[in-house]
Amino acid sequence: MCNPNYLTFFEVNKARWNELVAHHVKSDFYDLHGFLNGKNTLTNIETKEIGNLLHGKLVLHLQCHFGLDTFSLERFGASNVIGIDFSEKAIEFALQIKKQIKSNADFICANIYDLPQILSARDQFDIVFTSYGVLCWLPDLKEWAKIISLFLKKHGFFYIVEDHPFATIFENDPNSPELKVQYPYFQSNEPLQLENDFSYATDVKLENKITYEWNHPLSNIFNVLMEAGLTIEFFHEFPFSSWKRFPFMEKNHDGFWRLTNSPYSIPLTFSLKTHKK
């Protein structure tokens, strides 16, 4: 069950995500048109790392936004995928796309902390998947890891590809000329209150500017998953990002953004695969 202490933060964040859906579905970033014409939205990282493991599998996709990756997991051969997101607008839009492309994917509109009350413990999956821009919205990673483990079958795996927590310590103001440390790496219980007029995928000025976010250090991500009974299979770090995190980044032909004015190679993305014994 959602911890009542977090409810106000969730409500504020959800209002922003609900507002974003209408803009994101029209954005070049999400390229809905390309998707409807058969494009797969999984990046090279997850395609290479788990693309060949999806065939015939039951997948639970956490924080699915309006579903393009959920449908893409299905296009990779998953037999059934359930996407979860707490934004009503995102799930409404995912259901419209489902009709349009005649997909078998299912969607549940819920806060992921409420999943144990919504799915039965007998609903177990071969794979739990989550990607890009998910952890900062979650105040309690211990509970998150327990939920992942609860819904994984024995021998099933959990896979995450995500913004690297180290990258989140730097200022990402569109006018900042270089990397400058602005945020803490180590998490406190209180979220950061951030204000941002735009999102990573739209230049439209938003009404819901405030968000509450938590930065989770890598050690915490590893420890909660291991404490929940999962075994680490691999962990990879990448010096590029799935979105233009800093103004001085350039997009490569592989779709990832790289630092152009920095002599340093720093981790901007990570992937992690764990399994349940």
Q: How far apart are CA 206 and CA 203, in angstroms?
A: 9
Angle (deg, nearest 10), helices 7-24 and 88-101:
40
Q: How far is the CB of 170 from ligand SAM (least distance, A)?
A: 18
Q: Which of 3, 252 has the CB closer to ligand SAM? A: 3
Nearer to ligand SAM, 193 or 265 (CB): 193
Closer by beta carbon to ligand SAM, 13 or else 241: 13
Pairing mode of beta strands 210-213, 106-109: unpaired
- Output the smallest distance, CB 132 to ligand SAM, in A: 4
Smaller CB separation from ligand SAM, 204 or 262: 204
From CA 142, how far away is CA 164, in angstroms rounded? 18
Task: Tell me the residue nearest to ligand SAM as measured from the CB.
Answer: 133
Q: Dump the DSSP string for 8-34.
A: HHHHHHHHHHHHHHHHHTTSTTT-HHH
Nearer to ligand SAM, 68 or 105 (CB): 68
Measured in whole angstroms, how far is the alpha carbon of residue 229 from the centre of its chain? Answer: 22
Closest approach, Cβ 155 to ligand SAM, in A, equals 25
| Closest separation in Å from C-beta 128 to ligand SAM | 13
Report how far apart, in Å, the C-alpha atoms of 96 and of each of 13, 38, 42, 107, 249 are: 23, 16, 20, 11, 34
Quote the least distance from Cβ 17 to ligand SAM, whole Å: 4
Residue spans of alpha helices (H) in 105-199: 115-118, 141-150
Q: Residue 265: name the closest of 244, 239, 242, 243 by CA.
A: 239
Backbone angles phi, psi at 159, to 5 degrees: -130, 135
Cβ-based nearer residue to ligand SAM, 68 or 179: 68
Residues at the site binding ligand SAM, with contacts judged by CB under 6 A: 10, 13, 17, 63, 65, 68-69, 85-87, 90, 111-112, 131-134, 137
CB of residue 261 to ligand SAM, shortest distance in Å:
26
